[in-house]
Amino acid sequence: MFCRNCGSQIDDNAYICVHCGAATGQGAYFQKAPVDPDEPANGGFVALSILIPMFGIIYGAVEKSNGKLRAGKSYLTCGIASMIAWVVIPIVLSFFIFLLATVLSLLPLIPLMFSSM
Ligand SMILES: [Zn+2]
C-alpha cells in the first residue's frame, strides 16, 4: 500500500509509515477495542452523576450509545434519580419549614386562647 501522508510505498501490514511515521490506520493496534456491554459502572462517574445530574444523564446516554449498556444505564439512573431528588427534597423541606414556621408563629396565641375563657 501507499502512505496516505507522504505517498511512499510501505508494507501492507505496517501500522505506521517507515518514511514519515504517519499512522496507516491498518492493523489491530488501530482497531477499536471491543466494548463489553456488561462492564460495571465506574464508582467515580456514579458519584459525579449523583452530584451533577445533567452529567449522569448525558454521559450515561453517550456510554449507552457506545455499547456500554450496563454502565450507561447506571449513570443514567443515578442522574435521573438525583435530578428528582434535587427537585423534590427542597420542595418537601420548604413545606416542612413553612409548617414549622406556621406552628411557631401561632404559639404566642395559645396563652391568649386560655386567658379569654
Ligand atoms: Zn509516509
- 68 Cα: distance to centroid of ligand 1 (angstroms): 35
- 6 Cα: distance to centroid of ligand 1 (angstroms): 4
How many angstroms separate the Cα of 18 from the Cα of each of 4, 24, 67, 86? 12, 10, 35, 56
- 11 Cα: distance to centroid of ligand 1 (angstroms): 11
Q: What is the DSSP string of 26-94?
A: -SGGGSPPPP-TTPPPPHHHHHHHHHSHHHHHHHHHHHHHTT-HHHHHHHHHHHHHHHHHHHHHHHHHH
- 34 Cα: distance to centroid of ligand 1 (angstroms): 28
Where do the domains of the chain lie?
Answer: 1-31, 32-115
What is the pLDDT at residue 31? 54
- 23 Cα: distance to centroid of ligand 1 (angstroms): 8
- 8 Cα: distance to centroid of ligand 1 (angstroms): 6
What is the pLDDT at residue 25? 76
What is the pLDDT at residue 6? 94
What is the pLDDT at residue 92? 95
What is the pLDDT at residue 32? 59
Single pTM value for the model: 0.56
- 33 Cα: distance to centroid of ligand 1 (angstroms): 25
The series of mean pLDDT values per 10 residues for the chain, 117 residues long, is: 89 87 71 77 94 94 92 95 93 96 90 75
What is the pLDDT at residue 76? 96
- 28 Cα: distance to centroid of ligand 1 (angstroms): 19
